[in-house]
Amino acid sequence: MPLNATQWQKALAADSLRPVYLLVGEELLVLEAADALRAQARKLGYSERDVLDAGTHFDWNDLARAGAGMSLFATRRMIDLRLPTGRPGKEGAAALTEYCADPPPDVTLLVTATTWSSKHDGAWSKKLDATGAMVVFNAPRPNEWSSWIGARLASRGLSATPDAAALLAERVEGNLLAAAQEVDKLAVLRAGDSSRIDAALMESLVADSARYDAFKLTDAAFAGDGARALHILAGLHAEGEELIGLMGWLVNQLQLALRLANARDFAAQVRLERLWPAREQLFRKALRRAPREHWLQCLARASRIDRMAKGRETGEPWREAERLIAAIAEPRAAMALA
């Protein structure tokens, strides 16, 4: 049977790793769990890691070759297999089952799938679970959000009253990524302060979801929520917000997206940019929706809108800003209309 959250934490703290781990479910939670497992592996002497991306044209023989490979610098290795669709196919299922029949010593296989439902489960996943451990990471249910946020705050060295956690849960409206981002922001705002956050303090620290600001605009756009992003933009316009300041932040975020898109090593660039995990996932998802050329075009359009707002070029800057936000949020639709 798949492990629950409590069992997973105990398994993660063990002084030895199992032969196989299958981590599936909500992308943010799966990737964070995989990072934690890799960190534990490094502590236990797993200093080598083979990364395999099991995409459409993946050769499943590579899994057997990775398992049979000899270590050059250490006796312990990890095989990091990413299964983006959550479906290995007939060939992949056979390869994974065969691997589990006789897993190599001193090697741990980590399989992650960020697309998952009960329909993805099969004999192959049950075999991985029986050989090692399987964990399904689901978003919290409506009645679990307050406790999930409380635990998330605790993981960042913060504590909050139940009322404060409930307030934050209400603000994020069931959005897992937004909740993670808000907790990360609180960790920055409360750095070095161990006092408990009550509801009144939480109210002052967390931006009300009814407020429209540049940060929420860019977050919604890069998250692919075009309707919400355009709604926020309309609110900013109605409130008399200056477009020049808004475009400055938008250009900044598009430049960041382009640097990440150009990076040969995404993880290394994330560390260089000092992105919190939640923002890393925000940009990771955005970059999957379009190639680097799209973000380059968006940056050029943003620069042009900035010139319009400053009176250096003719045009309707707010109307062009709407088109740009739509293009950021829904690249495919924007490219189809181009």
Confidence band of 72 (pLDDT split at 50, 70, 90): low
Could you tell me if 171 and 265 lie in one domain? no
Q: pLDDT digit string (tens) for 16-54?
A: 999 999 999 998 899 899 999 999 999 999 988 999 999
Could you tell me if 297 and 311 lie in one domain? yes
d(CA 317, CA 304): 9
Could you tell me if 194 and 256 lie in one domain? no
Q: pLDDT digit string (tens) for 123-149?
A: 999 999 999 999 999 989 888 999 999
Q: pLDDT digit string (tens) for 247-268?
A: 888 999 999 999 999 998 888 8
> The domain that contains 266 carries what CATH number?
1.20.272.10
Range of the domain at 77: 5-137
- Write out the two tokens for 273: 């940019």
Could you tell me if 233 and 128 lie in one domain? no
Could you tell me if 25 and 97 lie in one domain? yes
Q: How many domains does the chain have?
A: 3
d(CA 209, CA 126): 42
Could you tell me if 13 and 62 lie in one domain? yes
What pLDDT is recorded for position 335? 60
Q: pLDDT digit string (tens) for 269-287?
A: 988 887 877 788 899 999 9
What pLDDT is recorded for position 111? 97
Could you tell me if 125 and 170 lie in one domain? no
What pLDDT is recorded for position 150? 93
Residue 332: pLDDT over 70: yes
Mean pLDDT of 300-328: 93
Counting other chains too, the contacts that 213-216 makes at CB distance below 8 Å and 24 or more residues apart are: 214/245, 214/246, 214/249, 214/250, 215/249
Chosen domain end from 190, 206, 222? 206
Chosen domain end from 137, 161, 188? 137
Could you tell me if 189 and 177 lie in one domain? yes
Could you tell me if 112 and 152 lie in one domain? no
Chosen domain end from 96, 122, 137? 137
Residue 210: pLDDT over 50: no
Could you tell me if 49 and 167 lie in one domain? no
> The domain that contains 96 carries what CATH number?
3.40.50.300
Could you tell me if 225 and 101 lie in one domain? no
Of 15-19, 65-69, 121-125, give the lowest mean pLDDT range.
Answer: 65-69
Q: Write down the residue that tokens 């399904």 correspond to.
A: 136
Considering all CA atoms of the chain, what is the largest pairwise distance in Å, rounded to the nearest integer?
70
> The domain that contains 156 carries what CATH number?
1.10.8.60
What pLDDT is recorded for position 257? 94
What pLDDT is recorded for position 73? 61
Could you tell me if 52 and 164 lie in one domain? no
Question: Which of 213 and 193 is assigned the larger pLDDT?
Answer: 193
Complete edge-to-edge strand list for the sheet that includes strand 20-25:
46-53, 76-82, 107-113, 20-25, 133-137
Average pLDDT, rounded, for the chain: 88
**CB-based burial label for 148 (10 Å; 0-12, 13-18, 19+):** middle
d(CA 173, CA 68): 48
